[in-house]
Chains A and B, each alone.
Chain A
């Protein structure tokens, strides 16, 4: 049973560039949430996708956008990168009918120079 997978594992970008991160949910899961984890801090909720729609959003600017595909996989896009966007980006999947339990992927570490 495959768990949550994310790609790439590491990424280096420069200010102003755009980045796309990818996530495949745990087998059988239909909901994907994205989190940003700065060094030494807890994960911060960015947004959640279900049925290819953004279901809820945290306090992140519109530079952060996402998409969910019919196979439940998801992408996180960040435009006009800032130095402060450097962080570990985590994807978590869950099954909406069973409630709250989320399983995290290993994350993508983004460094913005």
Chain B
């Protein structure tokens, strides 16, 4: 069935360093790839998304890349700050908002 794998499950970095989270998806029909940040006791918050007609997208310290051929997509956070500490989820979906599949999450720790 449809699946999204996410790595690593835990990531610890020093403040100011970069963090990279990688995901792969199985459904070749997926064309929408959002990333969510979830803080303790809260719902997931959309931080950036990318569509399959775009290979890369950047928003300040956050960037996403997509390789449709390899079915890989990645989240890059530069100049990490302690407030970036949270659980990050990747997801794969399709046009029209049909069933979005989430990865298992990456717990990011940014050490001051």
Contacts and interface: CB of A to CB of B under 8 A. Distances in A.
Asked if A and B are interacting partners, one says yes
A101 to B, nearest CB: 6
Interface string B49-77: 10000000000000000000000000000
B46 A99 contact: no
Contacts of B34: 100-102
B44 interface: yes
Contact of B95 (A35, A41, A42, A100): A100
Interface residues of A, number: 26
B89 interface: yes
Contacts, number: 67
Interface string B79-105: 000000000010101111111111111
Given A99-B32, A105-B43, A48 B104 contact: no
Nearest to B44: A104
B102 to A, nearest CB: 4
Interface string A76-102: 000000000000001000101001111
Contacts of A99: 32, 95-97
B102 A31 contact: no
B45 interface: yes
Contacts of A35: 102
Interface of B: 4, 6, 32, 34, 36, 41-46, 49, 89, 91, 93-105
Given A31-B97, A41-B105, A101-B46, 11 more contacts: A41-B104, A42-B105, A43-B102, A45-B100, A55-B98, A96-B96, A99-B32, A99-B96, A100-B95, A100-B97, A105-B43
